[in-house]
Amino acid sequence: MTATATATPTTTPRTASDRIGRLSTASVRKVLEPEELFDWSSLGAGQVIGDELLTTRGLDLDLDAETKARLSREEVAAMLEMGIRFEAVLNSGFALQIAECRDVSDPRVTYMLHEIAEETRHQRAFIRLVEELAPRAKNPLARGVFDRIATFNIRRFIKMPAFLMVLVLAGEEIPDLLQKLASEHPDTDPLLRDVNRYHRQEESRHLSFARTTLPELYGRAGRLQRLRVRYFAPLIIGGLFATFVHPGVYASVGLPGFKTWRAVNRSAERVAVRHCATRNILKALLDAGIFKRGRIPRGWRKLCGVDRHGEPLPGDVALPGDVDVAAA
Ligand SMILES: [Fe+2]
Ligand SMILES: [Fe+2]
């Protein structure tokens, strides 16, 4: 990151700096230590999210209560593990930008330090929850060719600030919707509900920082990085969404792993969640002036289920728990 302010499509540098300064002030006032906030031993022993929130919702499977309880714990643990790793990637990218910045007094640097601190607290909270959930699933995608490709790409992405920020938006918007669905559902375990609320509260500032800085980062990005945002990002984000719950989760409860995983990701119920979760990322890109209505790239249209103007295509099934899509 350079500290030299650059002209941006929608936000003047001064306004962006002021807004970021206010985010830092809010972070100082709300330092929340998860170890002090939560009683980890209070997590219930059985099903931690309702039937409606299981990713298998659209598959018409006849699962007994014990299997559903196990599946719920494995699914939540898999998502938390993904969150821990994703936040580590974000922290790496931000740390690199701080190391290479020209002016350490830029308010963006201070805010990134706040965000890194908050993410490390989230990671500690998620680790404690994973310990309590005691998952047994092994991720078959965390080895072999897939793992090598993922590692290679992550090490490249953290060096591309604009592209990384689009992925940060995805890594924050997608869990935000999933955690909103869980925190508002009556069948969610009370501890999990409270951790979700705590996380969403802090992530709202991170989303604000991402939306504020994306225009200036994109303004400084080279042609190749811009092409990646346009054509490569929707593929990566689609993959990110599909692997939040990996095939090993289904195998761990006696279902055919890859077959169930593919069926889940093709189900109308899961596709509707993906559309809803990713439309806010696209909205940020439109607001930043990166895409124009009427000329949204095909990959983004497919990812978000929208037309070339960004309007939702008809046909999505309702989200679980009667959550208002427009408000989500
Ligand atoms: Fe977080
Ligand atoms: Fe975050």
The domain ranges of the chain are 13-322
Q: Is the dihedral of CA 142, 124, 277, 194 positive or negative?
A: positive
Query: What pLDDT is recorded for position 4?
Result: 41
Asked if residue 324 has pLDDT above 80, the reply is: no
**Number of C-beta neighbours around residue 211 at 10 A:** 20
CA angle 84–233–110, rounded 5-degree value: 55
Query: What pLDDT is recorded for position 263?
Result: 97
Asked if residue 32 has pLDDT above 50, the reply is: yes
In angstroms, what is the span from residue 199 Cα to ligand 2's centroid? 8
Q: What percent of the chain has pLDDT over 70?
A: 94
Q: What is the mean pLDDT of residues 254-272?
A: 97
Ligand nearest to the CA of 121: 1
In angstroms, what is the span from residue 64 Cα to ligand 2's centroid? 36
| Reported pTM | 0.91
Ligand nearest to the CA of 114: 2
In angstroms, what is the span from residue 245 Cα to ligand 2's centroid? 19
Ligand nearest to the CA of 122: 1
- The 3-state secondary structure of the chain reads CCCCCCCCCCCCHHHHHHHHHHHHHHHHHCCCCHHHHCCHHHCCCCCCCCHHHCHHHHHCCCCCHHHHHHHHHHHHHHHHHHHHHHHHHHHHHHHHHHHHCCCCCCHHHHHHHHHHHHHHHHHHHHHHHHHHHCCCCCCCCCCHHHHHHHHHHHHHHCCCHHHHHHHHHHHHHHHHHHHHHHHHCCCCCHHHHHHHHHHHHHHHHHHHHHHHHHHHHHHHCCHHHHHHHHHHHHHHHHHHHHHCCCHHHHHCCCCCHHHHHHHHHHCHHHHHHHHHHHHHHHHHHHHCCCCCCCCCCHHHHHHHCECCCCCECCCCCCCHHHCCCCCC
In angstroms, what is the span from residue 273 Cα to ligand 2's centroid? 20
In angstroms, what is the span from residue 213 Cα to ligand 2's centroid? 14
Q: What is the mean pLDDT of residues 145-159?
A: 89
Q: Span 13-322: which CATH code? A: 1.10.620.20
Query: What pLDDT is recorded for position 10?
Result: 52
In angstroms, what is the span from residue 89 Cα to ligand 1's centroid? 11
Asked if residue 321 has pLDDT above 80, the reply is: no
In angstroms, what is the span from residue 300 Cα to ligand 1's centroid? 24
In angstroms, what is the span from residue 170 Cα to ligand 2's centroid? 10
CA angle 186–191–196, rounded 5-degree value: 80
- Tokens linked to 319: 């989200």
In angstroms, what is the span from residue 62 Cα to ligand 2's centroid? 37
Q: What is the mean pLDDT of residues 194-213?
A: 94
In angstroms, what is the span from residue 30 Cα to ligand 2's centroid? 15
Backbone φ and ψ of 312, nearest 5°: -60, 135
Q: What does the pLDDT look like over 81-103, one tens digit per residue?
A: 999 999 999 999 999 999 999 99
Residues in the chain: 328
Inter-CA distances, 182 with 52, 177, 191, 242, 264, Å: 10, 9, 11, 18, 18
Ligand nearest to the CA of 198: 1
Ligand nearest to the CA of 119: 1
In angstroms, what is the span from residue 86 Cα to ligand 2's centroid? 9
* Structural contact between residues 88 and 297, judged by C-beta atoms closer than 8 angstroms: no
Q: What does the pLDDT look like over 156-186, one tens digit per residue?
A: 999 999 999 999 999 999 999 999 999 999 9
In angstroms, what is the span from residue 87 Cα to ligand 1's centroid? 6
Q: What does the pLDDT look like over 286-311, one tens digit per residue?
A: 999 999 999 999 999 999 999 999 99
Query: What pLDDT is recorded for position 327?
Result: 52
Query: What pLDDT is recorded for position 209?
Result: 95
